[in-house]
């Protein structure tokens, strides 16, 4: 090809473009509710009073509660041993 030749371009429909370029994304999008759970768990882990509050309210030890919130912050599947921690009203 010489410098004066032009390359033929093909118009792609948006659906075709997404199919060609959207499927190979190695970084999967995390749903918003999962991100909120992780962020809230990290916040609780960073504030000892909140950690103690949830341990006391759920009749669990602080280490059990800390372990639970560590798993949630990492995005691991956990049995819900702590109740009312994601959408509760702060008093």
- Has residue 63 been placed in a domain? yes
| Domain of residue 85, residue span | 30-91
- Has residue 35 been placed in a domain? yes
- Tens-digit pLDDT profile for the chain (91 aa)? 566 777 677 777 777 777 766 655 555 667 888 899 999 999 999 999 999 999 999 999 999 999 999 999 999 988 888 888 876 544 4
- Has residue 36 been placed in a domain? yes
* Residues 38 and 78 sit within 8 Å (Cβ to Cβ): no
pTM for the full predicted model: 0.62
- Has residue 51 been placed in a domain? yes
Q: Which of 84, 79, 75, 85 is nearest to 47 (CA)?
A: 85
Distance between CA atoms of residues 44 and 52, nearest Å: 9
Predicted pLDDT at 3: 64
* Residues 68 and 74 sit within 8 Å (Cβ to Cβ): no
Predicted pLDDT at 82: 85
* Residues 85 and 54 sit within 8 Å (Cβ to Cβ): yes
- Has residue 73 been placed in a domain? yes
Write the CB contacts of 73 (distance below 8 Å, at least 6 apart in sequence): 38, 41, 42, 45
Number of domains in the chain: 1
- Has residue 62 been placed in a domain? yes
């Amino acid at each position: 090809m010489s410098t004066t030749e032009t390359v033929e371009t093909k118009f792609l429909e948006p659906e075709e473009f997404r199919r060609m370029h959207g499927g190979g994304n190695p970084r999967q999008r995390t749903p918003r509710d999962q991100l909120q759970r992780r962020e809230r768990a990290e916040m609780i882990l960073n504030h000892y009073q909140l950690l103690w509050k949830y341990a006391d309210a759920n009749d669990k030890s602080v280490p059990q509660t800390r372990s639970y919130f560590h798993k949630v912050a990492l995005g691991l599947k956990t049995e819900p041993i702590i109740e009312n921690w994601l959408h509760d009203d702060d008093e």
